[in-house]
């Protein structure tokens, strides 16, 4: 038993007026105490936090932590301004690697390069001629391989240099499957470290090839106690039997109803700007009806990636027809493009939009990426956090990391400062989607997501309230133990 003292506590949607203390035992909050503590507690060990501001431990409800950790050890192309710089970064990495190592490059946004294009395969070959290279677009829905890598995948039956859809998935998961268990565990250790540095106590993470394999799900399940933060696992697969055999309580994640706005594969009701394309529905209505019904019969919480309004409606129509949707808290992952009618349909289904405030931060606004792809009118009905909450719909917050940065403070501020002022959240609402609502999504509303007796002693502690520009992360406390302390 010990005391976590001298903290302003986020309780009942506001900070306490005076610093407080928490009595903690075996990772559970026993009692809230004043600061200084009463005389009978002074013999206990006290950790003094010097008047910092403590929130319930932040929870990111949608990450790709394996890829995030793995690619963080690779080549970050977000700093490249042109093709020449992309190739320089790849060539430098090539020089560091042995001949048997795979080069993973990520965060390529061709629209930010001077040339406004992807590199060509011959250009990639000039930088990395003798090792496999997997280069991923920022949204994860397109990738490229150099010639050396393409020769490794025998059934990659396409001459297209830019791989999308099933071809993208095949290439990515082939090279992920080449990694040893030690390399996979290393990637998760990196993710856990980065998650703590980002202010999180828990990360929901997707494991599987988004088809029929749950890949290394059981490896991570059996090693969860190795990591300093908590991973909440999703078997990202259509294989219900495998998920059940692995003891999973949910299934899915980024099993895809559609693609992405950037790759113009997100399924939209009206064509993309200056295009006849309306994106792609990757599966039929009948497929989703069969899959979601079968998963629901086994009491599995279902999570499906759906970005465009046409895909959201396709999945939500199935959810509406299943009485168990509310009980199982089925998820609409991303849920980006929603008009008023679709929001009312989601309210009827009781599905849970798992949303990413960073999407609006990075791509919103009348001059932003959404507007360039969809037009200004549709850009205003993207990521409608406030309208969804007003409709009585519970939403939760995630990052989609590795796609956008893993940073709790950035995400919360992005939810507050939406490009469309009508969709911005209050401070309390923004905190809720990363705490109380996130715990509820995992059926833990009675033991997590709030600072109160009998709840887990998870805390994200900042120098000032997180919405302030000068606020800095100071500590992350997991089950009463400091897992991260700022230097």
Q: What is the pLDDT of residues 57-113, one digit of tens each?
A: 999 999 999 999 999 999 999 999 999 999 999 999 999 999 889 999 999 999 999
Residues 479 and 414 in one domain: no
CATH number of the domain at 427, please: 3.20.20.140
Q: Tell me: do 436 and 475 sit in the same domain.
A: no
Whether residues 418 and 465 share a domain: the answer is no
- For the residues 177-184, what does the mean pLDDT come to? 97
For residue 139, being part of any structural domain is answered with no
Within-domain flag for 134: no
What angle do the packed helices 309-320 and 340-349 form, to 10 degrees? Answer: 30
Do both 433 and 476 map to the same domain? Answer: no
* Residue 99: per-residue pLDDT: 87
Give DSSP secondary structure letters for 143-154.
EEE-HHHHTT-T
pLDDT the model gives residue 155: 85
Neighbours of 94 (CB within 10 A): 18
Residue 186 lies in a domain: no
State what percent of residues in the chain have pLDDT above 90. Answer: 97
- Residue 212 falls inside a structural domain: no
Query: Which pLDDT does position 158 carry in this prediction?
Result: 86
Is pLDDT at 190 greater than 90 in this prediction? yes
State the average pLDDT over residues 176-202: 98
Residue 403 predicted with pLDDT over 90: yes
Residue 344: pLDDT band with limits 50, 70, 90:
very high
Look over the chain and give the mean of its residue pLDDT values, rounded to a whole number: 97
455 and 428 fall within a common domain: no
- Are 359 and 297 in a shared domain? yes
Between CA 335 and CA 398 the distance in angstroms is: 12
310 and 363 housed in the same domain: yes
Residue 172's pLDDT is 96
Q: Is residue 225 part of a domain?
A: no
The gap from C-alpha 112 to its chain's centroid, in whole angstroms, comes to: 23
Q: Is residue 352 part of a domain?
A: yes
Checking if the pLDDT of 156 tops 90, the result is no
> What average pLDDT does this structure show over 266-270?
98
Give the single-character DSSP code of 314. H
Q: Which residues of 157-192 are buried (b: 16+ CB within 10 A; e: fewer)?
A: eeeeebbbbebbbbbbbbbbeebeeeebbebbebbb
Q: Do 433 and 473 share a domain, yes or no?
A: no
CA distance linking residue 121 with residue 113, whole number of Å: 17
Q: pTM to 2 decimals?
A: 0.96
Asked whether the beta carbons of 331 and 301 are under 8 A apart, the reply is yes
Q: DSSP readout, 37-101?
A: PPGGGTTSEEEEEEEEEEEEPEEEEEE-HHHHHHHHTSEEGGG--SHHHHHHHHHHHHHHS-TTP
Burial class of residue 484 in the structure, from the number of CB atoms within 10 Å of its CB (0-12 exposed, 13-18 middle, 19+ buried): buried
Do you find a cis peptide bond into 36, omega within 30 degrees of 0? yes
Helix, strand, or coil (residue 301): strand
Largest CA distance in the chain: 75
Mean pLDDT on 36-44: 97
pLDDT at residue 209 is higher than 90: yes
Give me the pLDDT at residue 487, please. 87
- Do both 340 and 365 map to the same domain? yes
pLDDT digits (tens, 9 = 90+) for 435-456: 999 999 999 999 999 999 999 9
Count of the separate structural domains present in the chain: 2
Minimal CA–CA distance to 431: which of 415, 442, 420? 415
Token pair for 304:
């499906």
Q: Which of 166-170, 224-228, 340-344, 389-393 is predicted with the least confidence, judged by mean pLDDT?
A: 166-170
Residues 294 and 373 in one domain: yes
Query: What is the average per-residue pLDDT within 118-142?
Result: 97
Report yes or no on 420 lying in a domain: yes
Range of the domain at 16: 2-57+451-485
């Amino acid at each position: 038993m010990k005391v976590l003292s001298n903290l302003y506590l986020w309780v009942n949607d506001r900070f306490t007026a005076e610093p407080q203390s928490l009595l903690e035992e075996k990772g559970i909050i026993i009692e809230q105490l004043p600061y200084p503590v009463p005389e009978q507690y002074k013999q206990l060990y006290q950790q003094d936090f010097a008047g910092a501001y403590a929130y319930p431990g932040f929870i990111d409800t949608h990450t790709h932590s394996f890829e995030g950790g793995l690619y963080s050890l690779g080549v970050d192309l977000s700093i490249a301004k042109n093709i020449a710089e992309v190739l320089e970064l790849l060539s430098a990495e090539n020089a560091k690697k042995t001949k048997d190592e795979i080069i993973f490059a990520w965060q390529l946004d061709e629209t930010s390069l001077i040339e406004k294009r992807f590199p060509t395969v011959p250009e990639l070959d000039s930088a990395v001629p003798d090792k496999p290279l997997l280069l991923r677009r920022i949204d994860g829905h397109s990738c490229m391989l150099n010639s050396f890598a393409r020769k490794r995948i025998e059934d990659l039956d396409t001459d297209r240099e830019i791989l999308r859809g099933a071809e993208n998935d095949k290439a990515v998961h082939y090279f992920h499957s080449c990694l040893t268990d030690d390399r996979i565990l290393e990637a998760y250790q990196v993710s856990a470290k980065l998650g703590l540095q980002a202010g999180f106590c828990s990360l929901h993470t997707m494991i599987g090839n988004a088809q029929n394999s749950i890949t290394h799900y059981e490896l991570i399940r059996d090693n969860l106690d190795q990591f300093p933060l908590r991973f909440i696992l999703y078997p990202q697969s259509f294989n219900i039997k495998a998920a059940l055999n692995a003891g999973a309580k949910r299934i899915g994640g980024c099993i895809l109803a559609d693609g992405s706005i950037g790759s113009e594969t997100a399924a939209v009701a009206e064509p993309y700007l200056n295009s006849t394309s309306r994106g792609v529905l990757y599966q039929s209505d009948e497929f989703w009806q069969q899959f979601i019904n079968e998963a629901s019969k086994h009491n599995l919480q279902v999570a499906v990636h759906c970005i465009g309004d046409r895909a959201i409606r396709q999945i939500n129509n199935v959810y509406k027809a299943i009485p168990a949707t509310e009980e199982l808290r089925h998820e609409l992952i991303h849920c980006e493009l929603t008009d008023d009618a679709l929001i009312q349909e989601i309210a009827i289904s009781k599905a849970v939009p798992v949303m990413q405030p960073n999407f609006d931060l990075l791509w919103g606004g009348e001059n932003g990426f959404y507007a360039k792809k969809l037009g200004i009118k549709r850009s205003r009905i993207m990521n409608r956090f406030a309208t969804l909450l007003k409709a009585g719909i519970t939403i939760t917050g995630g990052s989609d990391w590795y796609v956008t940065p893993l940073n709790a403070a950035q995400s919360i501020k992005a939810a507050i400062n939406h490009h469309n002022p009508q969709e911005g959240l209050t401070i309390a609402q923004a905190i809720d989607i990363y705490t109380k609502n996130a715990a509820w999504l995992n059926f833990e509303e009675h033991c997590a997501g709030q600072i109160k007796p009998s709840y887990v002693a998870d805390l994200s502690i900042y120098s000032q309230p997180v919405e302030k520009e000068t606020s800095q992360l100071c500590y992350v406390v997991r089950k009463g133990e400091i897992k991260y302390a700022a230097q």
